[in-house]
Amino acid sequence: MKKFFVALAAVVLVATTLVPAQAVNVEGDAYIGVFNKYLWRGFDLSGGEPVAQGGVDLSAYGFTVSYWSNLQLSGDEGAGLKGGEITETDIVLDYTFDLNDFVSLSVGNIFYQLEGLEDTNELYLGIGLSTILEPSLTVYYDYDKADEDGLFYQFAIGHGFDFSDSLSLGLGAAVSYNQNSDYAVGDYSDWHNYELSLGVDYALNENFSVSPSFLYSAPISDDAKSAIDSETVFGLTATFAF
């Protein structure tokens, strides 16, 4: 657990003191949250045990560098998980830009550093529309460890409601399709899962906010049902924006 907070503090220190934010117009945030489990593409990766997740995002001129880690809060011997152990650290490089007033594109790479498993990389390409429900489609490609096609698709929609300057509600829905992303998801081509999400953001001031959240995930195809179960995740995140 100590390593988790030391690493997070180090990244925040770099972000806030070593990077001349005014000179290069850097914006970002640092956050930490506690959740009842770690769910990724419908897979329970924490053995149903609670986790803490934190990270830092730095953005300038359309580019974003992100650091994120998952900390296992309590162990699960059956899954080989130890309490106080960082099970995953991700480094994401992203570039997002607007094609016009309605269409934006995102391209990037996710490096997954995994405890007990081989690390891997995914490239992704996403397109988003600035219209009702803000639909988006993101394609992920595991070019590192996948033996087959290594493709995963996610289509998402969402809508936000602002109740005041400090309180807002976000609703989201997503559906995914797996195309033989055999290392990360499974060696099949079929619909994978759908997700329904709800989040509330409450701004304490210009920089600090707290966000309770809820997510429900369920498998779609028979292949997915043999790999994942229906799951619910709830948690609370605190964010400092700078």
Is residue 11 pLDDT above 60, yes or no? no
**Average pLDDT, stretch 72-91?**
88
Distance CA 19, CA 58 (A): 10
Residue 23: the pLDDT is 62
CATH code where residue 213 lies: 2.40.160.40
Residue 13: the pLDDT is 52
Nearest to 181 by CA among 105, 115, 120, 126: 120
187: confidence class by pLDDT, cuts 50, 70, 90: very high
Report residue 164 as tokens.
């005041």
pTM of the model: 0.88
Report helix, strand or coil for 8: helix
Is residue 136 pLDDT above 50, yes or no? yes
Report helix, strand or coil for 16: helix
117: confidence class by pLDDT, cuts 50, 70, 90: very high
Residue 221: the pLDDT is 98
Q: How many CB atoms lie within 10 A of CB 131?
A: 9
* Domain count of the fold of the chain: 1
Domain extent, residue 235, equals 2-241
Half-sphere exposure of 179 (CA within 13 A, CB side): 10
Distance CA 237, CA 18 (A): 26
Is residue 161 pLDDT above 90, yes or no? yes
- Any idea which residue has 């997740």 for tokens? 53
